[in-house]
């Protein structure tokens, strides 16, 4: 059986967990939390990084920091994970869905401006598969219309746009360390705060609405309740695991690149024959090779291929049900214009097994089954 994803150990994760216990701090904001935050800040040029329990929590914290009012609108793709939209819907804002580009499947920056009106407050570009959105154009639109930009970089840790780390470009950025992402700790995330005016409130909202972080720094002599927050801290035990992964940022990326390129090279003949389309990485984007997908000819051949692979004990999976067509999306959000590229990608996209410890034999058998399926489809 070849699974779609498998967790992995990159180095000292388990040793660091034991060390956290020995050091006597397994709750939040201990040695490893600080070490992870500092590493991410320094490597990616981010003003302030706070570890949180998940990518979803990072998006929720970001939405709270935007101080949105009911009726405020937030522009984002429909082709994304639920949390991108739900984080904003739960503070009363309305997600406004814009179509994606056919090449990267990222939000189509040329269609954003037509969706902006007097209620628009923010744009949430999602860097699909670790390939950057067209951030120069998006930041320019945001500047001209006075909008906040929150990067959903859940899949974009250690990926870059024109040399700048994803998550470091917008006012705020959100990372995920869920077990399916490139760098993992089970469940986890981080909020990247690039615009310094959000730092103080982010610390407060994350820590139950208290000014405890100021207290720890000796800036106040006791801490107390100052805002409506929640508990958005990561347990030190998980930060210890995460640090073991982050120490190997580039080894892990290099490994994923190798796996990605194996698929790209061996599937190119099928693309040349017109049987499928491979992912595209524009020249301005340095990918972290988060996922490898193919686009089949049509929905029926994608669904047939899923079945074919399953019979060969290979688990390949489709991706998003577009949010505009979901029950909550229909109730809480609106589409701006036509979303035909979104629907088309949702119908034809298939993600292939890609994880740190996949073997070349396993990748070869995925390729062999794709070739066999193409032959049966042709005959």
Ligand X SMILES: *Cc1c(COP(=O)(O)O)cnc(C)c1O
**What is the rounded distance in angstroms from the CA atom of residue 262 to the CA atom of residue 264?**
6
Within 69-88, the residues that bind ligand X by CB under 6 A are 80-81, 83-84
For the chain, the C-alpha Rg in angstroms (whole number) is 21
Q: Report how far residue 93's alpha carbon sits from residue 111's, in angstroms, rounded to the nearest whole number.
A: 20
Give dist(CA 98, CA 369) in Å, integer. 35
The window from 52-60, 197-205, 216-224, 277-285 that contacts ligand X (CB under 6 A) reads 52-60
| Options 36-44, 137-145, 149-157, 207-215: segment touching ligand X (CB under 6 A) | 149-157
Which burial class, exposed, middle or buried, applies to 254 when counting CB atoms under 10 A from its CB (0-12, 13-18, 19+)?
exposed
- State the number of binding residues for ligand X (CB under 6 A): 14
> In this chain, which of 60, 99, 109, 152 binds ligand X, going by CB under 6 A?
152
| 173 scored as a contact of ligand X (CB under 6 A) | no
Which pair of tokens denotes residue 189? 């995330």
CA 97/CA 112 separation, integer angstroms: 9
Nearer Cβ to ligand X (112/267):
112
CB 355 to ligand X: min, Å:
15
User: Which parts of 295-354 interact with ligand X (CB under 6 A)?
Assistant: none
**Binding status of residue 55 toward ligand X by CB under 6 A:** yes
189 binds ligand X (CB under 6 A): yes
In the complex, the smallest distance separating the C-beta of residue 104 from ligand X, rounded to whole angstroms, is 14
Task: List the interface residues with ligand X, window 219-238 (CB under 6 A).
Answer: none
- Contact between 245 and ligand X (CB under 6 A)? no
Containing H/E element for 269? Answer: helix 249-272
Give which of 136, 135, 253 is closest to 183, Cα–Cα.
253
| In contact, 223 and 212? CB cutoff 8 Å | yes
Strands 276-277 and 293-296: antiparallel
Contact pattern from residue 249 through residue 288 relative to ligand X, giving x for each residue in contact according to CB under 6 A and a dash for the rest: ----------------------------------------
Binding site for ligand X (CB under 6 A): 54-56, 80-81, 83-84, 126, 152, 154-155, 176, 178, 189
């Amino acid at each position: 059986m070849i699974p779609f994803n498998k967790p992995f150990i990159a180095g000292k994760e388990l040793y660091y967990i034991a060390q956290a216990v020995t050091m006597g701090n397994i709750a939040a904001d201990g040695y490893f939390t600080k070490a992870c935050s500092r590493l991410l800040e320094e490597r990616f040029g981010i003003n302030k990084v706070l570890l949180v329990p998940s990518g979803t929590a990072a998006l929720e914290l970001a939405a709270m920091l935007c101080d949105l009012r009911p009726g405020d609108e937030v522009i984002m793709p429909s082709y994304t994970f639920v949390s991108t939209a739900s984080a904003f819907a739960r503070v009363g804002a309305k997600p406004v869905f814009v179509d994606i580009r056919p090449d990267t499947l990222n939000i189509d920056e040329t269609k954003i401006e037509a969706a902006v009106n007097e209620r628009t407050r923010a744009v949430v570009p999602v860097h699909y598969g670790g390939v950057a959105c067209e951030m120069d154009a998006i930041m320019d639109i945001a500047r001209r219309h006075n909008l906040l930009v929150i990067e959903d970089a859940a899949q974009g840790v250690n990926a870059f746009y024109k040399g700048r780390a994803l998550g470091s470009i917008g006012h705020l950025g959100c990372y995920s360390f869920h077990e399916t992402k490139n760098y993992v700790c089970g469940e986890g995330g981080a909020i990247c705060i690039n615009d310094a005016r959000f730092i103080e409130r982010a610390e407060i909202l994350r820590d139950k609405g208290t000014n405890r972080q100021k207290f720890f720094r000796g800036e106040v002599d006791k801490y107390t309740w100052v805002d409506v927050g929640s508990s958005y801290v990561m347990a030190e035990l998980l930060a210890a695991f995460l640090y073991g992964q982050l120490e190997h940022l580039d080894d892990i990326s290099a490994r994923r690149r190798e796996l990605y390129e194996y698929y790209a090279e061996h599937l190119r003949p099928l693309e040349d024959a017109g049987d499928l389309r491979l992912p595209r990485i524009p020249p301005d984007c340095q990918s972290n090779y988060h996922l490898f997908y193919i686009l089949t000819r049509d929905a029926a051949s994608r669904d047939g291929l899923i079945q074919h692979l399953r019979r060969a004990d290979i688990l390949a999976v489709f991706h998003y049900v577009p949010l505009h067509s979901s029950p909550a999306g229909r109730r809480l959000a609106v589409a701006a214009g036509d979303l035909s590229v979104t629907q088309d990608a949702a119908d034809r996209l298939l993600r292939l097994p890609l994880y740190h410890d996949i073997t070349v034999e396993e990748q070869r058998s995925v390729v062999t089954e794709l070739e066999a399926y193409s032959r049966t489809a042709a005959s």
